[in-house]
Chains A and B, each alone.
Chain A
């Protein structure tokens, strides 16, 4: 286990390893995504109260769940970068931020589209939605901060601090539907106790959540690979990969 974590810090090892992972994870993720979307859109029964508009749940919830988990990944990379000054952690943090921003954007946009037929409005400034909007800006802030500095080490430090401070927002998002009166419905899937969702609707949702996790891992690794090649363009392992030496 420790030797695996140790190896992750080595750019050539990670580049080879991630190349192999991407090769099989890409088709598996796309397959799971299509099966889940097909099941959720066409096979699952409609909701007895919301009708067919509820089918947006199969992209809205996975995007939201993974955008929250992705923030922890980014903040953890930030903490590792601050404490141990590992370059790979900076690269991971930089790679995760745009993916998280897009997933949060998807959660917000699909939520707005779902809100229109369900609540009669595209947008309300309630606790859940506003805290998700803050998450979106935190991700964008990290992306922008990386670009703003000439000095990459200073950029990584600033981004690490911002992402660590921003973690305060995550439990607020989780708990917002319990703490405040909200239009947003509370969680249907619970780790403890029985879920408030029928199996015929739950299985495609679990498939889609798995696919979104796979997608997050994939794109973060692909972003890291593109970054690594550029950082190490003078190294022999990159030249070897490109077909030289």
Chain B
């Protein structure tokens, strides 16, 4: 260990602000890189599950219920597509 106290670690002989700022920005950006695709995958899985449920429900439903569920599905898809 090069530093002998926590204050020395924070201060780094006057360079602490620069060093810690650079590391903080990097850690935030890297965490975002890792978090955003896992969130996207989770969201899409939920959509696929919901669509499969709706489809299953509409095959056993009345004609009116069928149209309603198809409409819901197309709105959902449009929403997902605009979100990327």
Contact = CB atoms under 8 A, between A and B. Distances in A.
B61 interface: no
Interface of A: 26, 33, 37, 41-46, 51-53, 55-56, 59-60, 63, 99, 102, 105-106, 109-110, 113-114, 116-117, 215, 218-219, 222-223, 225-226, 229-230, 233, 238-239, 241-244
Nearest to B20: A41
Given A43-B1, A56-B19, A244-B49, A109 B30 contact: no
Contact of A41 (B23, B25, B29): B23
B63 to A, nearest CB: 23
B78 interface: no
Nearest to B9: A42
A244 B52 contact: yes
Q: Which of A44, A53, A116 has most chain B Cβ within 10 Å?
A: A53
B30 A215 contact: yes
A222 B34 contact: yes
Contact of A222 (B29, B32, B41, B80): B41
Contacts of A114: 18, 22
Interface of B: 1-3, 9, 12-16, 18-19, 21-23, 25-26, 29-30, 32-34, 37-38, 40-41, 44-45, 47-49, 51-52, 80
Contacts, number: 106
A59 B45 contact: no
Q: Which of B25, B37, B41, B49 has most chain A Cβ within 10 Å?
A: B37
Contacts of B23: 37, 41, 56, 59
Given A109-B22, A109-B25, A43 B48 contact: no
A229 B84 CA distance: 13
A55 B19 contact: yes
B8 to A, nearest CB: 10
Contacts of B33: 99, 102, 215, 219
Nearest to B25: A109
6 contacts: A37-B23, A46-B2, A53-B19, A56-B19, A56-B23, A102-B29
Nearest to A37: B23
Q: Which of B33, B44, B52 has most chain A Cβ within 10 Å?
A: B33
Nearest to B12: A52
A219 B25 contact: no
Contacts of A226: 37, 40-41, 44
A136 to B, nearest CB: 13
Given A51-B15, A225-B37, A229-B48, 10 more contacts: A41-B23, A42-B2, A45-B2, A55-B19, A102-B30, A106-B30, A113-B22, A219-B37, A226-B37, A242-B48
